Chains A and B, each alone.
Chain A
Amino acid sequence: MHLPISDKIELNILHQNSHQAEKNKIKFNNYNLLCLNIMSSPGAGKTRLLEITLEDLSKKFHSAVLEGDMTTNLDAARLEKLNIPVVPITTGRACHLDANMVSGGLKLLEKKINPNLLDILLVENVGNLVCPAEFEIGEHFKVALLSITEGEDKPLKYPIMFREADLILITKVDLLPHLNFDINELKSNIASTNPKADVIEISSITKSGFDLWQDWISKKILKF
């Protein structure tokens, strides 16, 4: 046996994922396809948000969805009813989508439709406020949902998720009159964690805020 050798590599643990995410982004760019990574805890309203969003968005833009789910295709089945291309990605025991999974999903999407014909790809991540924040998938923007039933403190408890987000949607605001919830405290916690994020209050019941959200998406697509 020889003497020990120390190989100073200074290598990012996630470099393989980052490398694949870069490849995904190049593909999206070549297709002129804007990709949004939609993230939240389970039950914050991601799928309902997409259902309502796509009803209107699909009238103006060609859209598709990659639907991440740990064990079922239930959410994908809901979105398929909107007659847009939907590719379910079942992650098994993994609690987040990674760049390889999205690359695989994109290959399946390419079999359904020529992505050159699409304007926007919405990727619904697995419901989780921890791991999805660390794993790039090649997205252009990250959108994090936070429902008011989760509490004002969540941006402080899960700061990476809310720090990484470009847009934070505060969902279920129709419940505000029924809850002891301080939305200003939540906004202050968001601002202190990520002062640069856009913030929109939204309700899938009253549809309030959907005009601002659709406007945000439209501007991103048109600028792209």
Chain B
Amino acid sequence: MTKCLILSMEEWAEKKNKKKIVVEKINLKIGEFTCVEPISLINTFNAAVLGSWLDSSEITIETIPFEGKCSKCNRLYFPKKENGYKSPCCNFNLEEIISGRELKIASIDFKEK
């Protein structure tokens, strides 16, 4: 995932002149229902970019809650592992996921040198 993030940043920087910019913050939106542990992503990113053009950049992560929709009564709920992800209102299986699958670079804060 870290590699994908860095490749995405490289791709973004190709459209700028990366020698002329300094990336200050990479602002991510990471859903709770993904295979990404935010602190691990930050740590591996920091290690991977040491000495590179992204060395001075900082990652911020906005966690997007895992939210489902009960297919019986249409209420939104926060699925919990302890409850088998079922809806607390009707005890229905998790059919529709509203949010929590996000793996996004929301924005990049940078300065021109």
Contacts and interface: CB of A to CB of B under 8 A. Distances in A.
Chain A bound to chain B: yes
Interface of A: 1-17, 130-131, 133-134, 156-157, 159-160, 163, 188-189, 191-196
Interface in B1-15: 1, 4-5, 7-8, 11-12
Contacts of A1: 22, 111-113
A2 B85 contact: no
B95 to A, nearest CB: 6
A13 B8 CA distance: 6
15 contacts: A1-B112, A5-B111, A6-B107, A7-B108, A10-B104, A11-B8, A11-B12, A13-B5, A15-B8, A133-B35, A159-B81, A160-B34, A192-B85, A194-B94, A195-B95
B23 to A, nearest CB: 10
Contacts of B5: 13
A156 B85 contact: yes
A224 B71 CA distance: 30
B53 interface: no
Given A5-B109, A11-B104, 10 more contacts: A3-B111, A4-B110, A9-B106, A16-B8, A134-B34, A160-B34, A189-B84, A192-B84, A192-B93, A193-B93
B107 A9 contact: yes
Interface residues of B, number: 31
Contacts, number: 93
Interface string B68-86: 0000000000000100111
Which secondary structure dominates chain A's binding surface?
mixed
Given A4-B24, A9-B105, A160 B111 contact: no
Contacts of B105: 9-11, 13
A195 B84 CA distance: 12
A17 B1 CA distance: 10
A160 B94 contact: no
A7 B81 CA distance: 36
A134 to B, nearest CB: 5
Nearest to A131: B35
Contacts of A13: 1, 4-5, 8, 28, 103-105
B96 to A, nearest CB: 10
Nearest to A11: B105
A195 B93 contact: yes
A20 B88 CA distance: 39
B62 to A, nearest CB: 12
Given A2-B112, A6-B109, A11-B8, A156 B103 contact: no
Closest CB pairs A-B (n = 9): A192-B84, A195-B93, A8-B107, A2-B112, A13-B103, A192-B93, A11-B105, A7-B108, A130-B35
